Amino acid sequence: MKILVTGGAGYIGSHTVVELLNEGHEVIIVDNYYNSNPEVLNRLRTITNKDFKFYQVDILDREALEGVFEENEVDAVIHFAGLKAVGESVAKPLMYYRNNVSGTVVLCETMAKFGCKKLVFSSSATVYGVNNMAPFTEDMPTSTNNPYGESKLMIEHILEDLQKSDPEWSVALLRYFNPIGAHESGMIGDNPNGIPNNLMPYITQVAVGIREKLGVFGNDFDTHDGTGVRDYIHVVDLADGHLKAVNKIMEENKVYIYNLGTGNGVSVLDMVNAFVSENNVKVPYEIGPRRAGDIATSYADANKALVELNFKAERDLRQMVKDSWNWQNKNPEGY
């Protein structure tokens, strides 16, 4: 199939592109490099020994996006393009709603104009809010407490309404838990701009000497060691979930919703200890106060994806921390 990947130069997008190319799909990447790096494209070609089309386009630029569709008969779209920092979204909500929500509307209008109505959307477990009890199931009520999460939930509702209004659409909403790890080659990985918002890139940057110590937000949660528990999934497993979702939306036109996680919870200190033990490096840390809005425990019920997609995360915690360090150690300053 000919698959358009928005945000394909980003962390999850790039790993998904590798898997798509290895499966023999034709890939078109659209990315504006807001949170990615042009070097990624060279490395994708090296890893796969395959080529693909690339367009430096912002999905809000309707004319440029239409140009991409005019030049390519796209069968399906995997939509990663979006801003993703919770703290930044609180400080700049309009930027998040404009980029994430309006960008998706422009994308869908453009897709419809060119007769492409198959879409896999990069959603988030943040849509489960703070009131549900883990493990989270896809039929739980949704809510959010920050503009980033709200933008994801708004897009889910928009895509559900779109499919209801036009049954030719087929949409998969993939609710990610916490992607970590990197391609086993160490050539591509998580390369956030500025101070990392997520745990693993912060750990790796401390380990490689970019940052002095890790700040742990709270050790008084109702968990086995007092630190927050999350569901971490290897990014290559996550990429595989997207390939399975693409196949699913080709079967029947409807809205599919899937958690993509392992179904296992790992605490912050469990993660630090696993990283230190596996990689034989030091990660000094300091316990600080909780962050507002953080919940004690978040992990997936991964059964629906197993039953309907035949998707199961294969890589364990040891592999996740090993591949994360391999990437950072080979690329101490990122790309």
> Which residues are the active-site residues?
148
Summary count for the chain: helices (H), strands (E): 12, 14
- Say which residues have a Cβ less than 8 Å from residue 100's Cβ, sequence separation at least 6: 82, 83, 148, 151, 152, 154, 155
- The answer to whether residues 19 and 42 touch, using CB atoms and an 8 Å cutoff, is no
Q: Which two structure tokens, joined as six digits, stand for 124? A: 């988030």
| Rounded distance between C-alpha atoms, residue 176 and residue 149, angstroms | 12
Say how many Å lie between the first and final Cα of the chain, rounded: 30
Q: How many C-beta atoms surround the C-beta of residue 165 within 10 A?
A: 8
Q: Is the bond preceding residue 135 a cis peptide, omega within 30 degrees? A: yes
Buried b (16+ CB within 10 A) or exposed e, 259-288: bbbbbbbbbbbbbbebbbebbebebebeee
Angle at 258 between CA 118 and CA 292, to 5 degrees: 115
Is the C-alpha dihedral spanning 91, 78, 122, 157 positive or negative?
Answer: positive
| Rounded distance between C-alpha atoms, residue 52 and residue 326, angstroms | 26
